[in-house]
Amino acid sequence: MPQGGPQGASEVPQGEPHAEAARIQRANQSLEVLSRLWVKAAEGLRAGTWNKKTAKELAVEFCRGLYAFPEFIDLRLSSQWVRKHYPILCRSFGITWPPPYKDFAKELARLLPRKRIDRRARDGKRCTSTWYWIPPPTVAAAMCRAKQKRERRTRAKRRASTSATAADHVGPTPNGASNSSRWAAPAGR
């Protein structure tokens, strides 16, 4: 299906072999199956069930659903498809008050890298869309570890910079003398 269309898998670039077109067609069919599974799960819930999940937990569940279908690996998924099916995903887990989509999208971007693609048609019109890349599981795990390592370094740098600025307010006493006598209670009073 074309980019930005009702389905979410990436379009086939011009000149690609027929096998790649068939792979994308299978991926689009699997997207339909995945959304039907979510609809069935939502229908199977009893009325009055209430569940609460964070945006991060929903993003993880979304990725699990995608990785259950190997034909999605190394393809791109349209953010329009994700946004359209986010309420269905939430209902499938019995979530009546889902977290805002923007929070879910932010967490999903931590698991599936997203890229904004800007295309110009021949008539000069501009078409901008966002796509999530579905990396192989081993690559996704390595990316996650690298991101955690960067975040730890950033936090350590931030702590080091804040402790340095706090220390600027406290200086050594002249000639190593103690200031304790200044703060001690006067003797005999």
Mean of pLDDT over the chain:
76
Between residues 109 and 186, which one has the greater pLDDT? 109
Better-predicted residue by pLDDT, 139 or 1: 139
Decide which of 132 and 44 is more confident.
Answer: 132
Is position 119 within any domain? yes
pLDDT score of 24 more than 60: yes
Whether residue 188 lies inside any domain: the answer is no
Number of domains in the chain: 1
Q: Tell me: pLDDT of 94 over 60.
A: yes
pTM for this entry: 0.62
What is the pLDDT confidence band of residue 3, given thresholds at 50, 70 and 90?
very low
Q: How confident is the model over 5-9, as a mean pLDDT?
A: 48
Q: Mean pLDDT over residues 90-108, rounded?
A: 89
For the residues of 67-98, what is the DSSP string, one character each? HTSGGGTT-EEEHHHHHHHHHHHHHHTTBSSP
Domain that holds residue 41: 18-143
- Strands of the chain, DSSP E: 76-78, 114-120, 126-133
In a domain, 109, yes or no: yes
Which two structure tokens, joined as six digits, stand for 4?
Answer: 């930005």
Q: How far apart are CA 56 and CA 108, in angstroms?
A: 7
Residue 161 is assigned to a structural domain of this protein: no
Q: Is residue 103 part of a domain?
A: yes
pLDDT, tens digit, 9 for 90 and up, residues 34-89: 888 888 888 877 655 667 888 999 999 998 888 888 888 888 888 999 999 999 88
Which two structure tokens, joined as six digits, stand for 182? Answer: 């200044």
Residue 138 lies in a domain: yes
Q: Is there a domain that residue 108 lies in?
A: yes
Residue 88 lies in a domain: yes
